Amino acid sequence: MGQYLSKKTKRKLSLGYILFFLFIAWYIQDTNKILQNNITQNQINLVISDYNFYNKFYIKSNKNKQDILIQNHNYINNEELIKEYSSSTPFIVDSKLKKTPKYNLTIKFYDKNKRHSIEIENKISLLKDKSYIYNSKDSYIELFGKVSNDGYVRIIKQLEKSTRIKNILNDNVLKIFFIGFVNILIFLYMLTLFDEHEKNKIQMYNEYNQLSKDAQEIAMVDTLTGAATRVKFNNDLNDLIQLASRFKEQTFTFMILDIDNFKNVNDTHGHDYGDIVLKDVAKTIKKHIRKTDYFYRWGGEEFVILMPMNNLKKSIDYSNILREKISKIEFKKIKQITCSFGLVEYQSKDDETTIIKRADKFLYEAKKNGKNRVEY
């Protein structure tokens, strides 16, 4: 895949993919950050809620001032919490045991009339006019607040991943995986589209070249006889004249020939057989001209031969040989086919028009003087 893409296109595509990937990475990081902040804030809100519940529970139960441990449950309302914990004996925290609390929420009461550690005294000083202060750590959240008029409470909540948090994280992982998977599919699909586009371009280019080549062949080659057309003749004649006008040794001869009595062939045997005659005459001419000569179908039953680097004397002999070869072609429906020739050599004052007129004049004389002859 991608073998039809240009280097420039691949660079642009790769850069676009990298930018898109960076955007996805940024989005994932930002989403995770927001999620973690939401989770942390949610836990902080729960600790604050536990603090408020504890205040009400403390006043309602009127228990002794002890260190208590409460399991963190979700309650429908405050009354449900108060009802449950008023009817049960709180767990006593043994300060001598250096063990991790069994439950994820620890609540400890501090009497304001007693002396406390420097750490607690510092926290009390930070309270001032506030009801509570809290501090969020990676593994726990700590809240320190006032309790009625009796003292202070310290709530420590371990940040364990709840089932809900796990589900959120799992959902986020699935989203990340889905986004990455879709991203890869889109990138592969884009590569396929670009590849198909390049293939289509190459195919269209090849087809265009082939059509151009076919059109050029149609324009330059006569489909019936295989001789070149007058379009190519005009270009070649102009080139030969340009060379001959500059260099004397580049002279050339112009030969025009016409099949004698060709109208009778068409009238007697039909145009299809006339085409057979044209093909056989053209085949004979192409077989006996030099590789350096140019052969054209002039129109109808007329043909033209341009002979570069050839003078009139040599061309006369050559024309008579060619005339005899044509007269010896064997046909099934007709006895013989002959041709009349008009032959000229390039002159210094010649242009495309004058050299054609001179050759055509000699062809007319050949017809007038009995046909099957060469005039020059």
Among residues 160, 175, 192, which one ends one of the domains? 160
SS (H, E, C) the chain: CCCCCCHHHHHHHHHHHHHHHHHHHHHHHHHHHHHHHHHHHHHHHHHHHHHHHHHHHHHHHCCCCCCEECCCCCCCCHHHHHHHHHCCCCEECCCCCCCCCCCCEEEEEEECCCCCCHHHHHHHHHHCCCCEEEEECCCEEEEEEEECCCEEEEEEEECCCCHHHHHHHHHHHHHHHHHHHHHHHHHHHHHHHHHHHHHHHHHHHHHHHHHHHHHHHHHHECCCCCCECHHHHHHHHHHHHHHHHHCHHHCEEEEEEEECCHHHHHHHHCHHHHHHHHHHHHHHHHHHCCCCCEEEEEECCEEEEEEECCCHHHHHHHHHHHHHHHHCCCCCCCCCCCEEEEEEECCCCCCHHHHHHHHHHHHHHHHHCCCCCEEC
Pairing relationship of beta strands 252-259 and 105-111 according to DSSP bridges: unpaired
Q: Return the CATH number at 278.
A: 3.30.70.270
Residues 115, 120, 126, 130: what is their CA dihedral angle, to the nearest 10 degrees? -80
Please state the domain count of the chain: 2
Q: What is the mean pLDDT of each run of 10 residues along the chain (376 residues)?
A: 57 72 73 74 82 72 47 48 50 40 67 90 90 86 88 82 56 69 74 75 84 73 92 93 91 97 95 96 95 94 96 94 96 94 95 96 96 96
Same domain, 135 and 250: no
Q: Which residue in the list 79, 80, 198, 301 is annotated as catalytic?
A: 301
* Residue 222 lies inside a defined structural domain of this protein: no
Among residues 115, 145, 160, which one ends one of the domains? 160
> What letter represents residue 184's amino acid?
I
* Residue 153 lies inside a defined structural domain of this protein: yes
* Residue 283 lies inside a defined structural domain of this protein: yes
Residue with tokens 């009497």: 111
pLDDT score recorded for residue 79? 55
Same domain, 153 and 246: no
Is residue 301 annotated as part of the catalytic site, yes or no? yes
Domain with 357, as residue range(s), is 230-375
Same domain, 143 and 280: no
* Residue 8 lies inside a defined structural domain of this protein: no
Among residues 130, 160, 190, which one ends one of the domains? 160
Same domain, 144 and 241: no
pLDDT score recorded for residue 88? 46
